[in-house]
Structure 1
Amino acid sequence: MATSKTRARNKRGEGAQLRDEIVSAAVKLVDDGMPQSVTLRAVAREAGISAPSIYMHFSDVDTILLAVAQQAFASLEQELAAPDDADPVVRLRAACAAYLHFAEHRPHRYRVMFGAVWNAGQALERAPALADELAVLGMGAFEVIRRTLADCVAAGRSTSADPFTDATALWVGLHGLAQLRVAAPLFPWPPDLQDVVIDRLALLLD
């Protein structure tokens, strides 16, 4: 018979640590391939706490999955911004490659981030108070792409007249490529398709 994990009681002032442990437990359930099984009871069991303890930090599963998505987007933003190169085109290509790598190697978190498991729009309908947090979800990662494309324009390496719109198109292209590679693994994907998507959507010059 399975038993719940046991966990030492937090000392006074360690509430933030408990919150982090709850999010980590939810992330582990997601990474283990069970994102649709993230329930208050399952998270509590994984964290080694009682289910009512969660309510000190999260009101429901939506707020837990929002925290998981926020953490995942923060990791993605860090990875997109990692390249340190003076050439903006090199940085843009590296950021796009990092995006696709993240989607491939953290597929379950990616599904939470982009609505395949947890839908931010539906969460907003259930809890309008989340509007401010949902409005900025993922914008830090997007800003890395937009800013890097703007650097390409400033360096005369892109003909984009609207980096925000073209960065949005690039994001859509990367997301579509990431999803379609999973959905159609037997399709004869051109080996240089990633560069073609980046070059055309970012309007890069040779």
Structure 2
Amino acid sequence: MAEAVTSRRERLRAETTQEIKTIALRLLAEGGPDAVALRAIAREMGMTAGAVYGYFATRDELISTLISDVYTALMDRVEAARDAVPGRDPGGRIIAWGEEVRAWAVQRPAEFRLVYGDPVPGYRPPPGGPAGAAELRACTGLVGLVAGAWPQVRDDSGVAFEWTDFAPDLVGHVRADYPELPPAGLAMALRVWGRMHGLIALEVYGHLGPQTPDPAKLFHAEMRALVRGLGL
């Protein structure tokens, strides 16, 4: 009987925690980062502020959880899109990754801004950042896209890179996962990331709308040009 009571309490706690996060994301979408407040969430749920603090001790803890959840959901999507393309087609896998990131960003612009854009006023992230494992998945996943095509990837930058040009923690993960990849490969992965996110950010923040009625077509052209520029 005690186990059943404990299980019921755990289930109710999990459901309430999820409801708090769902309302927080809606407030974020409707009013931006300033709208996410534990007292506002408590009012919507018919709870006291003190009761909500029993689930998240601070607003910063809630924001960190939201960022981690959003980033993890994004990585689940883009990895599935990548894996739907055969490994023998590294260019197609790069395009699939980029197209899925854009699709997610357009569908969930507030979440894109939470992870990649607008800082939350007064928010202090935990040591190591809020995204943690999901952010590492994103970075090493992009490196894996480049590593899957190395050494056939063409690099016309004329810039020589060393491992010391990058964060030591990132270097450690990359060298462990892709021991044959040189520093230029990591540089290329970061450049690919920049090419992907540049047009997405312009679209999400409303800067492409006045210039083109079809930003999806523009993005697809950019991804094809990116892949061809890599020699794939």
Q: Distance in 2 between matches of 1:202 and 1:74?
A: 30
Unaligned stretches of 5+ residues in structure 2: 1-6, 156-181
Q: Distance in 1 between matches of 2:24 and 2:141?
A: 27
Say if 1:201 and 1:43 are closer, same or farther in 2 by CA, change over 3 A.
Answer: farther
Do residues 187 (structure 1) and 211 (structure 2) align?
A: yes
Do residues 196 (structure 1) and 222 (structure 2) align?
A: yes
Q: Is the 8 A contact 2:95 2:223 kept in 1?
A: no
Aligned pairs for 1:1-206 within 5 A:
11-14=8-11, 15-83=13-81, 84-86=84-86, 87-118=89-120, 123-124=124-125, 130-134=126-130, 136=132, 138-153=135-150, 156=152, 158-159=153-154, 162-181=184-203, 182-188=206-212, 191-192=217-218, 194-196=220-222, 199-200=225-226, 203-206=229-232
Identity %: 22
Q: Distance in 2 between matches of 1:201 and 1:85?
A: 15
Match of 1:75, as an amino acid?
A: A
Q: Distance in 1 between matches of 2:229 and 2:96?
A: 16
Say if 1:118 and 1:194 are closer, same or farther in 2 by CA, change over 3 A.
Answer: farther
Say if 1:110 and 1:193 are closer, same or farther in 2 by CA, change over 3 A.
Answer: closer
Number of residue pairs matched? 189
Q: Distance in 2 between matches of 1:44 and 1:26?
A: 10
Shift, 1:134, TM fit: 2.9
Shift, 1:131, TM fit: 0.7
Q: Is the 8 A contact 1:33 1:108 kept in 2?
A: no
SS at match of 1:64: helix
Q: Is the 8 A contact 2:27 2:36 kept in 1?
A: yes
Shift, 1:26, TM fit: 0.8
**TM-score after normalising by structure 1:** 0.76
Unaligned stretches of 5+ residues in structure 1: 1-9, 125-129
Q: Is the 8 A contact 1:79 1:98 kept in 2?
A: yes
Q: Distance in 2 between matches of 1:97 and 1:119?
A: 30
Match of 2:61, as an amino acid?
A: T
SS at match of 1:138: helix
SS at match of 1:98: helix
Rg (Cα) greater in structure? 2
